Amino acid sequence: MSRVLIVAEHNGNELNPSTAKCVTCAKSFKPDSIDIVVLASDGQKIADQASTLSGVNTVIKVDQATNSAPLAAVLAPQISELASKYTHVLGPSTTFGKDLMPRVAALLGVGQLSDIMSVDNAYQFKRPIYAGNVIITVVASQERIVVATVRTASYTAAESTNQATIETHSLTVDLPKHTQFIELRSSIGSERPDLQTAARVVSGGRALGSKENFKIVYELADAFGAAVGASRAAVDSGYVGNDLQVGQTGKIIAPDLYVALGISGAIQHLTGMKDAGTIVAINKDNEAPIFEIADLGLAADLFSVVPELVEQLKE
């Protein structure tokens, strides 16, 4: 018998699509039940959205003021308190999940399994290592709770065809006070789509040459409503903040369309975006590795080509 608890990722108002992808992962090993826990200050709207996901039995809503910001130090003790009734606790392999789930595992006294990309059965999973060049099989003990993150780039979102029960829970847990939420800053502005969930992404690399030149990436992204990303080389050069980094040590994404501007295609970067539906690369070096995986490639000066493309898109 296996029972799965999925930790909902949300922004306080809307459920992040990563949660629906975790549901798809959980459904693949046919558990007896799948529940979702929504930790928020007022999670009714989010719980309503979670309850529609196909395969979900119950949505557990935990409302309290301390959950207004997604602080891992505050959320983890609450999740570990609920976990005793479950065999599996899953979270997305996003910035949110990578911050939270190791704390949950530590509180439960177990090791964490990272980046589930496919499932053999409820206790046997596959995950990538060595920048995705090797896939290993991991067998988890059936005597302990399995705490894991799901590689969201490997799964599609569960459909909204359900109507699960919503239960309100009140937890009496001592919460740490050494971590407090101060403010949220974004280097891309709130008007652009979220990088990890966007259907379209435009990324820039070191070839942009400067922070000022990186605006060409923003212009193309804004022309067709895409999110903005960057290679590690661009981040390390100070063109953008590390919250935009795509790759092995950044965000792993799988948009419908990925446009790479001035990105050579190091294996670490390819790990973060190779599951995209369509990959378009623009680079003046016609031997750049990015062209080996690109569906459409253009060997040209991006500073000449991209402005023309932006104008055509605007027209």
Q: What is the CATH number of the domain that holds 285?
A: 3.40.50.1220
Q: Are residues 109 and 216 in the same domain?
A: no
Would you tell me how many other CB atoms lie within 10 Å of the CB of residue 63?
Answer: 17
- Indicate whether 235 belongs to any domain: yes
Across the beta sheet with 227-230, the strand order is: 227-230, 200-204, 257-261, 278-282, 296-298
Confidence class of residue 197 from pLDDT cuts 50, 70 and 90? confident
**Residue 27 pLDDT more than 90?**
yes
**Residue 131 pLDDT more than 90?**
no
Q: Are residues 21 and 73 in the same domain?
A: yes
**Residue 219: exposure state from Cβ atoms within 10 A (0-12, 13-18, ≥19):** middle
Tens-digit pLDDT profile for residues 140-160: 999 999 999 999 999 999 999
**Residue 294 pLDDT more than 70?**
yes
**Residue 141: exposure state from Cβ atoms within 10 A (0-12, 13-18, ≥19):** exposed
**149 strand-pairing partners:** 91
Given 148, 168, 188, the domain boundary residue is 168
Q: Are residues 7 and 142 in the same domain?
A: yes
Q: What is the pLDDT of residue 189?
A: 56
- Indicate whether 191 belongs to any domain: no
- Indicate whether 187 belongs to any domain: no
**Residue 104 pLDDT more than 60?**
yes
Q: Are residues 24 and 97 in the same domain?
A: yes
- Indicate whether 65 belongs to any domain: yes
Q: Are residues 67 and 153 in the same domain?
A: yes
Q: Are residues 207 and 302 in the same domain?
A: yes
Q: What is the mean pLDDT of residues 16-38?
A: 97
Q: Are residues 157 and 214 in the same domain?
A: no
Given 147, 168, 189, the domain boundary residue is 168
**Residue 180 pLDDT more than 90?**
no
Confidence class of residue 63 from pLDDT cuts 50, 70 and 90? very high
Given 144, 168, 192, the domain boundary residue is 168
Buried b (16+ CB within 10 A) or exposed e, 157-181: bbeeeeebebeeeeeeeebeeeeee
Q: What is the mean pLDDT of residues 258-284?
A: 95
**Residue 13 pLDDT more than 60?**
yes
Q: What is the pLDDT of residue 37?
A: 98
Q: Are residues 128 and 226 in the same domain?
A: no
Confidence (pTM): 0.86
Q: What is the pLDDT of residue 315?
A: 84
Q: Are residues 153 and 7 in the same domain?
A: yes
**Residue 132 pLDDT more than 90?**
no
Q: What is the pLDDT of residue 187?
A: 59
Give the CATH number of the domain where residue 112 resides: 3.40.50.620
- Indicate whether 183 belongs to any domain: no
Dihedral over Cα of 190, 270, 152, 150: its sign: negative
Q: Are residues 144 and 275 in the same domain?
A: no
- Indicate whether 177 belongs to any domain: no
Enclosing domain of residue 62 = 3-168
Based on the structure, what is the number of domains in the chain? 2
Q: What is the pLDDT of residue 176?
A: 86
**Average pLDDT value for the chain:** 94
Q: Are residues 252 and 162 in the same domain?
A: no
- Indicate whether 182 belongs to any domain: no
**Residue 194 pLDDT more than 90?**
no
- Indicate whether 192 belongs to any domain: no
Q: What is the mean pLDDT of residues 247-276?
A: 94
Confidence class of residue 186 from pLDDT cuts 50, 70 and 90? low
Q: What is the pLDDT of residue 98?
A: 95
Q: What is the pLDDT of residue 133?
A: 84
**Residue 116 pLDDT more than 80?**
yes
**Residue 188 pLDDT more than 80?**
no
- 46 versus 172: which is more confidently predicted? 46
Q: Are residues 7 and 139 in the same domain?
A: yes
